[in-house]
Amino acid sequence: MGSLYAALLARSGQKVWLLEKDNERIAAIRRGGLSIKEDDGFWHVPFEHITSAVEDFGSADLVMLFVKAYDTAAAMFDIMPAVAADTTVLTLQNGLGNIEQIRQHVPGVQMLAGTTAQGANLLAGGCIHHAGAGDTIIGAPEQPVRWRAEAVRDLLSAAGIMTSVTADIYSVLWEKLLVNMCINPLTAIVRIRNGQIIEHPALLQLLDQIVAEGLAIAATLRIQLPCDDPIKKVLEVCRSTAENISSMYQDIRSCRRTEIAQINGAVVGYGRRMGIPTPVNAMLTDLVLAMEHLQHTA
């Protein structure tokens, strides 16, 4: 996702730096740029501004975080030399807890958070598959800095990333969380594409239970969701991304750590603290964690 956004912004004329730890990927992108595979072909942008050392590019106007949620704290520590008093930090990550971790490093007034329906898969080196286009929604956790969100909205929209600003970003984050709570673990455990969930009555029954537990937590937190029917919303996403392989399924296939602890596991944690039962989400969390462990010990 970071490479997709970098390519789109660079194509629009912005100066963009990618911070990357994989030296082989750095060399590949410096050598060959970024290539984006779309349904109707490829497009390419030369891209030399990629490094493993944040000191190479000085302070930034905008920092965008796309790392896995469990890497947020480490990423913020690494990026801080580029964060000045007027730098905006935007997270478009999955899961809960990212805002709180970022706030430990920068003042809340410099923060933005959001969700995106854009989809991207890494094919090789600097080659990215743009798996799906969709809206990006951003907002300021602290409302007096709405102007930051509006400035970033204009920047992203000019790059072809259609972006809107919401006055209640927590509402949007929880709606996306409910979607991820269903699609990610179910596809990873059963090893299916997103759209296949709606073909199986047993999975639809689990989906209902996952959402019901999440809604109980959201209601206690007084989160007002933007959609009237969360189940319908999840099913719509399943259909609109039918051929996609979820990020969690990709992680399992590649023997990588998943974000289950920051998605379903985060809801389980809320439930424990609030005294609200979340047995289905607890079961899914344990199953995915067991899959991770078995892959790493095989």
Return the DSSP state at 67.
Answer: S
The verdict on 66 and 120 lying in the same domain is yes
The pLDDT of 55-69, averaged and rounded, is 94
The answer on 246 and 158 residing in a single domain is no
**pLDDT for the residue 144:** 64
Q: Is 176 marked active-site?
A: yes
- pLDDT tens for 104-159 read 999 989 999 999 988 888 888 889 999 878 899 999 987 666 889 999 999 999 99
Do residue 163 and residue 36 come from a single domain?
yes
Could you tell me if 203 and 217 lie in one domain? yes
State the pLDDT at residue 121. Answer: 83
Residue 146: give the domain boundaries. Answer: 2-167
For 212-235, what is each residue's pLDDT tens digit? 999 999 999 999 999 999 999 999
Nearest residue to 79 (alpha-carbon basis) of 98, 96, 60: 60
Provide the β-strand partners of residue 45.
34
- % pLDDT > 90, the chain: 84
The pairs formed by 273-282 with CB atoms below 8 angstroms and a separation of 24 or more are: 274/217, 274/220, 276/213, 276/216, 276/217, 276/220, 277/213, 278/213, 278/216, 278/217, 279/213, 280/206, 280/209, 280/210, 280/213, 281/181, 281/210, 281/213, 281/214
pLDDT at residue 280 greater than cutoff 90 = yes
Among 167, 195, 223, residue at a domain's last position: 167
Distance CA 61, CA 66 (A): 17
| 110 shares its domain with 184 | no
Question: At which of 120, 136, 167 does a domain end?
Answer: 167
Are both 179 and 268 inside the same structural domain?
Answer: yes
Average pLDDT of every residue of the chain: 93
Q: Are residues 127 and 143 in the same domain?
A: yes
Distance CA 294, CA 298 (A): 6
Confidence at residue 298, expressed as pLDDT on a 0 to 100 scale: 60
The model carries a pTM of 0.92
Answer yes or no: do 126 and 185 share one domain: no
Q: What is the mean pLDDT of residues 262-284?
A: 98
User: Looking at residue 116, which CATH number applies to its domain?
Assistant: 3.40.50.720
| Number of domains, the chain | 2
Which of the listed residues 167, 182, 197 is the one where a domain comes to its end? 167
pLDDT band at 40 (very low <50, low <70, confident <90, very high): confident
- Of the candidates 15, 21, 68, 176, the residue annotated as catalytic is 176
Task: Kindly state the tokens that stand for 145.
Answer: 């800095």
- Residue 100 and residue 181 in contact, taking contact as beta carbons nearer than 8 Å: no
Output the pLDDT for position 122: 85
Confidence category of residue 295, pLDDT binned at 50, 70, 90: confident
Pair (80, 157) in one structural domain: yes
The enclosing domain of 264 has a CATH number of 1.10.1040.10
Q: Same domain for 105 and 246?
A: no
Q: What residues have CB less than 8 Å from 280, skipping those under 6 apart? A: 206, 209, 210, 213
Answer yes or no: is pLDDT of 186 > 80. Answer: yes
Verify that 15 and 149 share a domain, yes or no: yes
Is the same domain home to 204 and 248? yes
